[in-house]
Amino acid sequence: MVKRSSSRAELTEQFDSKRLKVFDSTCTPPEKFMEITSRKQLQQLLTFNQDLSHSLNDIQSFKSFLDAIIAEDNSKAKLLILKEYFETQKSYGGDESPDNFLNDLIKTWSFASQSNKENLLSAVPAVLALLLRIISNSLELSTYGIKLGRNILHKDQHELIKRGLSANKNKEHMISPILRLLRELSMLDGGALADSVYKARNATFQALTRNLTLKYTGNGIENPRRPSVRTNTIRFVLQLVRYLSTELKRDFLSQRDIFSKLNQGISNDPPFLVRDILETFQTHVVKDTRLPRDAKTKLLSSRFLANIASLYGYDKPEEKNDSTTPSVSESAHDFLLLACSSPDSGVLLKQSGLYPRGLAVSFSNENTTHLNSNSFNLGLDSIGWINNFSEKVPVRNIILSEFIHGLRPWSSIRQTQLITTIFKAAPELIAEYLSSKNKFLFDPKLTASWMAYSNFIYNIISLPLPSFFGFDDNFANLPPPLPILMNHILPQNFSQKLIVKNLSYSTNKLIVFFTVRILCLSFRKLKAALQMFKQAIKSSSAEIWNQYASIVIERFSKQIPAINHVTGAYRRLDPSNICQREIFTKLISLYYEILPHIALETNSGVSSIIADALFNTDKTNLRSQDGILHALELENIFRIAGFSPGMRWFSSGNGLLMSPFLAMLRLFALAPQSILLPRLRSVLISIVHESQILQTSNSNAELDFLIINIRASMDQPEVYDIFKYLDSCISRCAATPTKYIFMLEELISETKRESCDTSLSLLSMAMLEQWPFYVKAANISNIKKTSYFVSRYLAFFINFKKDKNIVKALSKKFITACADNPEAQNIIKSYREVVIDISTLDYESPNTSRSPECIINSPQVVQKANRAILETSSSNDLSENNNALVKWRNKDIEDIVEDGHLKKLILLLSSKYDNIRREALINISKVSHLLKESKFEERDQIWLLLQELHESVKTSIDQKPLASIFSYFAYYAVDVLKDPSHFLYPKINQFLSQKPIWQLDQIPLMHRIMDEAPNIDSVIYSEREWLLNLFFDGLRSEVDLEIFRKRLIFERILSCYNFDFGQSLQDKILNILSRACSIKGGTSTLVTRFSLVTWLEVHSALSSNIALQDLHQGLLKLCAEKRVKVWSKGTIESM
């Protein structure tokens, strides 16, 4: 020990004497570092020297050499020098000795520690970290990096690491280099030494929790290039999370003191560090499928989630204003959405929905046996817990429960979205959350908090009830507790007294609007629950579930206001407040639809509302700016009238200008075609079927055409004379139908037709009977207008394949009745010519809006075209746009993308000419290069699309064209990717990130759109429409047809036809079928493989869509006669 002390004293004396020479003018200033040009020079420079000032200068020279490599200043030559130097380094000692690679640097580090030379003590680990960083970027040097890392982590260097990490708080220059060194060691060669770093945690974790508290104390924003001790510590911890093996990561995540300190101060960290933390935890913890669930749970505690949620209010400025980089608040929101709603995240536990934790229910147990027994049946009275859990609900997801109680959904939209997502993933939390939030009074105060909380309640109620009320894969033997279900339908703090109070605030329109909006949603959810009860009755105790349903209705009826309160509030509304009037009528109609016993048991005053609406129908301008809301309000009122007993649909008394039935027809005709009125149409259909005024096999189709005929008449001035005539005919037909049945039979006998496939409607007979009287009373101008109406009506019968002789006889009677008016006679005689106009008419259900493109390609337009015309219209030559190969060259990259030049180039990959395809692929590569170098905002994603397209087709483009379905997918994807707000932007991005090469036998995004829920619930219609448009444009050849057949596209779209998406999408499906029939072999494929003939027969009988019947007839004409006859065994005789 004495000798060692003497040595240290000697070294100190030597160091002191050398230090004095630094200030000698003859010495080289330390700032002028030696330029290293050879291996020998580098070896001499790094040789251990006890002269501390020279050693410091040598280390700084070496650092300058390494900085030049990173700056790519003649880096290849310098890397060669570095490699040659590494090759000269050999281990000292025997085989059992530790690896002493670069031992001179380690000796210098150790000597600096012994000499307490802090500048050198911090310089050596800093240069080692820099050296490891360079080695990590070079495959040739990786083996040397492993040797160096093992030497640094050897137990002889543990004290050096400890000293650096445990230095005083104010010596950041000593702590940070060690942390950077450990970080580089952890990530070296893909984490090859990460486990070794963790196993040496007695040294590497020294003062780690303390260092996590040493935050940036300077002014302004923390510079990422000069990070604080906390930032360096977090970066070191994150590298361990990334690269540790599964078992050691599991142990590491259990270090609560480390991660609690890391997480506590996250809201004060700079933006770049917060995003790094969130991304690392999301990718390497939450999404790590190899990591056990318990390890994730140890990290993702309620406290941890709450600290992440504090980032919703993060307001530190960004170091760069990059619009493509998500904000900290957005990144935190994405992390919490994934962590709290993914079953594999470690937070979300399996739960039983509306059945609380610990409740014993099953498919069949003793309770069911007793309850179903004839000798012992007490119903719900035998279930002791059926009325429990009104105040406290035990749940399984305790972490999520504690977490959401700390959130403030009324203060942040994202917090509302987060809680709603959690409730959707874990429905058991809804009742538990609402039952414990009674302290928040839902008093009507028009404040931001009140409105936000109202919207939050609305979002909760909008969540669907879990399947089977959350009990496994079938209904349980007993229903869930009543208080829990009622909280799902309408929260208990939303009492009847409070609702009535809210409805009485006539001065605050928003309070009334939000209240009625919540009530409407609650009614719909009650309806969904009642439907589930009906399903549960089939698989469980019917008496129990029936009794339970009655109690649910009773409790809901007590919680909502009486209907007279709602109608009274509606009457107080100003006529100009059309938005509230519409939603009030919707609520009243829900009373009648779902709770008719409440709506009918009191004098609600609905009859006066219906009467006022009928009086004002003709005064309402449905084509004004508020026309849509006016139409919806009237639709709701007519639906209310449909539920009202004793409604006289065909009476125009009491001062009405027309009967309610004709008023509904007029509403349909006048309503903007951009809106849907399905409920009003259902009322009309029910009236028609009940009254039999349109007594044909296709009464719905005749009803639709009657509305179209009225719409065509509305374009003329003074049409009320037509309404008066039609109203008289309808009312007489409904009053005395037998009379017109005899008239029809007489007409049939006059034509000497014993039987007909389909008879005319009774309304046509009434129109014939009243026609002579109308001609005598009306003026010439009105007779002319009405004659056009009659002519179109007769044309409809011809179009619908009625008996031509009967229609001819009917037309003669109309002509005879107006013998004194030759012009009217000529108009009626021309009904046969009108058939052509009607066959090309945009025929649609009144509740459907269609685009011009859909009209052009609809089956109605091509119903009488022959095979050649159909093939020509659906198989356009894609190579006709060859000028796209040159048009783009003089354009800016933005114009190339925005003006469609890029999309036209993509379509040329499907050209039948191989030279055009090759040229198109070359041009796409050029555009891709220009795009990558440009400043176009959405260049990255479009560039990725072009690269994947290029890689997918480059090997086959010389042999065959790219299938049209893929070229059109890329064509459509360009429009999506240049608009980040597009509803398909996330799904197409996810598709592009999956594989670099497409599988050219699988249609992109088909299953993602047809089988998965959309990112936003309201865009499901738009997603389906986008996909159907892709199917239609992408079906152009036999190759496309074969892909459609293999991937069961036709089977999928046929099954989707009945979905409630409106006639527009149904017409698109028919367009696809029509195009498939135009391709060689398409007709026989659809008939023999997908039974399209049977499908069309069934749907033609159930639907009023003319296009179905026309497609059916056209299909039989276009069939491959021989093959289909063999397949059908002669059953298809129409061919």
* Local confidence band at 328 (pLDDT 50, 70, 90 cut-offs): very high
Q: Tell me: the pLDDT tens digits for 1035-1089?
A: 888 888 888 888 888 888 877 776 545 667 777 888 888 888 888 877 777 777 7
DSSP state of 761: P
Residues 6 or more apart from 751 whose CB is under 8 A from it? 803, 805, 806, 809
The predicted model scores a pTM of 0.67
Report domain extents, the chain.
Answer: 1-216+225-243, 692-849
What would you measure as the largest C-alpha separation in the chain, in angstroms? Answer: 141
Residue 932, Cβ density class (10 Å: 0-12 exposed, 13-18 middle, ≥19 buried): middle
- For residue 990, pLDDT beyond 90: no
Alpha-carbon distances, residue 157 vs 126, 129, 138, 152, 177 (angstroms): 15, 15, 26, 6, 15
Mean pLDDT, to the nearest integer, of 418-438?
A: 89
The residue with greater pLDDT, 282 or 795, is: 282
Share of the chain above pLDDT 90, in %: 24
Question: Is residue 815 within a helix (H) or strand (E), and if so which, with residue range?
Answer: helix 804-817
Task: Tell me the chain's radius of gyration from C-alpha atoms.
Answer: 40
Q: How many CB atoms lie within 10 A of CB 452?
A: 18
Question: What are 329-377's pLDDT values in tens digits?
Answer: 999 999 999 999 999 888 999 888 899 988 877 654 434 434 444 434 5
Residue 22: which pLDDT band, with cuts at 50, 70 and 90? very low
First-residue to last-residue Cα distance in the chain: 113
For residue 450, what pLDDT band results from cuts at 50, 70 and 90? confident
CA distance 958 to 954: 8
**CA 1122 → CA 861, 1084, 1115, 1125, 1127, distances in Å?**
28, 10, 14, 5, 9
Name the band, by pLDDT with cuts 50, 70 and 90, for residue 522. very high
For residue 1109, the model assigns a pLDDT of 65
297: buried, middle or exposed (CB in 10 Å: 19+, 13-18, 0-12)?
middle
pLDDT of residue 758 exceeding 80, the answer is: no
Q: Report whether pLDDT(1112) > 50.
A: yes
Q: Is the pLDDT of residue 554 over 80?
A: yes
Place of tokens 């170098």: 933
Please give the pLDDT value at position 443. 65
| Of residues 278 and 658, more confidently modeled | 278
User: pLDDT of 253-267, one tens digit each?
Assistant: 999 999 999 999 899
Handedness of CA 1012, 1015, 1020, 1024 (dihedral sign): negative
What digits encode the pLDDT tens for the residues 893-946?
888 888 888 888 888 888 888 888 888 888 888 888 888 888 888 888 888 888
Structural element, H or E, at residue 948: helix 939-953
pLDDT at 587: 93
Residue 739: its pLDDT value, please?
A: 86
Stretch 754-764: mean pLDDT: 66
Min mean pLDDT across 196-205, 211-220, 533-542, 1092-1101 is at 1092-1101
What pLDDT, on the 0 to 100 scale, is given for residue 1061? Answer: 56
- Please report the pLDDT score of residue 374 as a whole number: 43
**What is the residue whose two structure tokens read 């069949």?**
364
Q: What is the pLDDT of residue 278?
A: 95
Q: Mean pLDDT over residues 674-700, rounded?
A: 74
Residue 766 has pLDDT above 80, yes or no: yes
Per-residue pLDDT for 1000 more than 50?
yes
Looking at residue 156, what DSSP letter applies? G
pLDDT at 988: 87
Length of the chain: 1135
* CA separation for the pair 900, 902 (Å, rounded): 5
Residue with tokens 């179209």: 708
User: At a CB cut-off of 8 Å and minimum separation 6, what does 803 contact?
Assistant: 751, 753, 756, 757, 758
Name 990's Cβ contacts closer than 8 Å, sequence gap at least 6.
1008
Task: For residue 1105, give the DSSP letter.
Answer: -
Q: What is the pLDDT of residue 430?
A: 93
Note the pLDDT of residue 801. Answer: 56
**Residue range 407-431: mean pLDDT, rounded:** 92
State the Cα–Cα distance between residues 575 and 581, nearest whole angstrom: 8
DSSP 27-53: SPPTTSPPPP-SHHHHHHHHS--S-HH
- Highest mean predicted confidence (pLDDT) among 125-139, 216-230, 690-704, 711-725: 125-139
More confident residue, 1101 or 689: 689
Span 88-97, mean pLDDT? 52
Helix 103-115 vs helix 118-136: angle between axes, to the nearest 10 degrees? 150
Q: How many CA atoms lie within 13 A of 936 on its CB side?
A: 24
Whether the pLDDT of residue 869 is over 70: the answer is no
More confident residue, 782 or 858: 782
DSSP string, 100-142: -TTHHHHHHHHHHHHHT-HHHHHHHHHHHHHHHHHHHT-GGGH
Q: Which three-class secondary structure state does DSSP give residue 692?
A: coil
pLDDT at 89: 79
Please give the average per-residue pLDDT across 61-85, as a whole number.
85
546-560, 839-853, 922-936, 1121-1135 — which one is most confidently predicted on average? 546-560
Quote the CA–CA distance of 885 and 915 in Å, as a whole number: 12
CA distance 145 to 1043: 52
Q: Which residues of 21-51 are buried (b: 16+ CB within 10 A; e: fewer)?
A: eeeeeeeeeeeebbebeebebbeebbeebee
Three-class secondary structure assignment of 412-470: CHHHHHHHHHHHHHCCHHHHHHHHCCCCCCCCCCCCHHHHHHHHHHHHHHHCCCCHHHH
Query: How much is the mean pLDDT over the chain?
Result: 80
Looking at residues 559-566, what average pLDDT do you find? Answer: 90
